[in-house]
Amino acid sequence: MTNKAVARHLKLTADLVELTGGNPFRARAFASGARTVERLEEPVAELLAAGELVGVKGIGKGLAAEIGELLQTGTMGVTETLLQSLPPGIPEVLRVKGLGVKKVRALWTEAGVTSIEDLEAAAVSGRLEALDGFGAKTVQNILGAVEQLKAYRGKAHLRDAWAEAVAARDALRQAGHAADLAGAVRRQCNVVEGAALVTTAPPEAAAAALADWGAARPGGAEDGRVEGRLPLGLPLAAWSAPPAAYGSALFEHTGPDAHVAAVRERGGAGDHADEDDVYRAAGVEPIPAPLRDDPHWLDSGDRPALLTSADLRGTVHNHTTASDGSATLREMCDAARERGLGYFGVCDHSRSLQIAHGLSVDAVLGQVEEVARLNDDYAAEGVGFRVFSGSEVDILADGSMDFPDSVLAQLDVVVASVHQGFNMTEAEATARVVRAVSNPHVDVLGHPTGRLLLRREGYPLDHEAVLDACAEHGVAVELNANPWRLDVDWTFVRAARERGVLVSINPDAHSTDGLDDTRWGVASAQKGGLTAEGSLTSKTAGELAAWLGGAGR
């Protein structure tokens, strides 16, 4: 369990204590603990194992013990007790954007709202406007937030589903059966609604192995499918197939349906032990699972050598304690080195983003000097590692940059991003972003739509026009690897590749463990057919320096 996951659980517990009218000091203790854990530079599990967690300011013996329970069992007794004391739908109401704990408590106690369905009905009927703090505009925003939340139900980020799906697969393998991932998880979709496996285990044996591992309620079905639920709550289906038809079953249950039907129509029917033989029977070169959501590859003879994590040489968009990160510049760089990377770009926020402690002009120029000293230190230590000075500079409402050109010119790398003013039309957003990438000092367009998967939609954007502008001005487009973002979406990666626009896969890391998110960026890039040649962060430090200096742009 990551520090962020622990922090989220502690924050939820704090909200539940407050919501149920519990001791306010206890609520503040959980909330403070959440903030502390999120900013820890070391994994909380390691600190707990070493007996050092209690020594961290703000974490006493009681809270440390509860964190230990959380790490061991996946929950805390106090949290479960609080949840049991509430109507089942209240925690989901807490997730509605724009509603704090006080408003949720008022909705519950004064309007009888115990689910988002209740909330929606109360908003539509006009009952909410009778409550203090719920004006017409607030109610309209609530309805929009409820609609989004309902659309996100039953879905999970690939990162969360992947770990549990792999563990379920491995449980079948450890029981002596062949087993492989299938479905949307195998296709590396950004967001998934369930997990699927194909196995040679008979349904009864598959059900037993999955039950022993921890899947909820696995059981056999008439069509040879075992159904259950992952610990995350997503549905799990394990399809049994004999070895002679294993490849065909893997192909069919990997999907998507339109792809399967198209290959079948071309002659890829019958039983095959090897999945590639399904394609050969249809006269089609085998298509890797991540590419199967894009119909383009069925009629294309191009089978790109897809980018892998091993192809990445460094990262250029990351944050430190100078803005809203949890580790120092040296700590972040050393963590990147430990992961085998050859360079690190520090891009703390610019001055307008005050909520993230954006740096002033003096602060960012001071960081440029800090980077130079750190590079000198690495050289003196004989370490082949380079640090690039930079900034994630806000794109202002009119498309201009948050720092003047005289400051941007002193940075090695400039990542331009929108963080504020999302209520734009497509024409307004496109014009804003196109003007930003036209600035000669901008190197990378950061998370182009600003979306947060399963939390908020991004602003509308004419991707084609933006990519054309990036191509014209030699600007790379970021595929932000944070599993909540994965922005630019994979559906536009091929368009970038075709225009010669490099894709910069960056974790946007705010902590040392955040550097590991690059794997999800690579998964999404593979869906778009990205190769190492099309990846900015697959360049060596020397090659990147030359590119940033204008060579080949």
Q: What is the CATH number of the domain that holds 145?
A: 1.10.150.20
Residue 192 token pair: 């998934």
Helix ranges, 56-153 (H): 61-73, 77-84, 90-94, 101-111, 116-125, 136-152
Which residue bears the tokens 């050289």?
379
More confident of the two residues 347 and 212: 347
Reported pTM: 0.83
CATH of the domain at 482: 3.20.20.140
Last residue of a domain, one of 86, 113, 132: 86
Q: Which domain holds residue 139?
A: 90-153
Mean pLDDT of 275-299: 96
Both structure tokens of 29: 């203790």
Structure confidence by residue, pLDDT tens digits, 447-492:
999 999 988 889 999 999 999 999 999 999 999 999 999 999 999 9
Cα 515 to the center of its chain, rounded Å: 12
* pLDDT (0 to 100) of residue 154: 87
Quote the pLDDT of residue 221: 66
Angle between the N-to-C axes of helices 101-111 and 3-19, in degrees from 0 to 180, rounded to the nearest 10? 40
115 and 194 inside one domain: no
HEC per residue, 200-218:
CCCHHHHHHHHHHHCCEEE
Query: Same structural domain for residues 1 and 121?
Result: no
Same domain, 420 and 530: yes
Residues 351 and 428 in one domain: yes
204 and 276 part of one domain: yes
Is 279 among the domain residues? yes
Give the Cα-Cα-Cα angle 146, 149, 155 (nearest 5 degrees): 165
Kindly tell me if the per-residue pLDDT of 199 is higher than 70. Answer: yes
| 421 and 456 both lie in a single domain | yes
With respect to residue 304, please indicate whether it lies within any of the assigned structural domains: no
The CATH number linked to 4 is: 1.10.150.110
526 in the same domain as 383: yes
Does residue 396 fall inside a structural domain? yes
Would the pLDDT of 219 be above 80?
Answer: no
* Structural domain count, the chain: 4
Q: What is the CA 274 to chain-centroid distance, rounded?
A: 33
> Does position 395 have pLDDT exceeding 70, yes or no?
yes
The reply to whether 169 and 240 lie within a common domain is yes
22: nearest Cα among 34, 33, 13, 10: 13
Q: Using CA atoms, how far apart are residues 249 and 277, in angstroms rounded to an integer?
A: 12
Half-sphere exposure of 199 (CA within 13 A, CB side): 29
Please state the three-class secondary structure of 372-432 as a single string. Answer: HHHHHHHHHCCCCCEEEEEEEEEECCCCCECCCHHHHCCCCEEEEECCCCCCCCHHHHHHH
Q: Are residues 101 and 168 in the same domain?
A: no
Cis peptide bond N-terminal to 218, omega within 30: no
**Type of residue at 549:** G
pLDDT at 220 over 80: no
In this structure, the chain runs to a length of 553
Return the structure tokens found at 479: 């595929």
Domain endpoint, select from 243, 266, 298: 298
Do residue 172 and residue 55 come from a single domain?
A: no
CA angle 321, 323, 329 (to 5 degrees): 40
Q: Is residue 1 over pLDDT 80?
A: no
Where residue 5 falls among pLDDT bands split at 50, 70, 90?
Answer: confident
Residue 368 belongs to a domain: yes
What residue type is 194 in one-letter code? G
Cβ contact 21:85 at 8 Å: no
pLDDT at 436 over 90: yes
* Percentage, residues of the chain above pLDDT 90: 73
> 167 and 24, same structural domain?
no
Mean pLDDT for 276-291 is 96
Looking at 153, 183, 200, which one is the last position of a domain? 153
Q: Of the segments 32-41, 391-400, 511-520, which one has the largest average pLDDT value?
A: 391-400
- Give the containing element (helix H, strand E) for 371: helix 361-380
Longest dimension (CA), the chain: 70
Mean pLDDT of the chain: 93
pLDDT over 70 at 51, yes or no: yes
CATH of the domain at 187: 3.30.460.10
> Residues 371, 266: one domain?
no
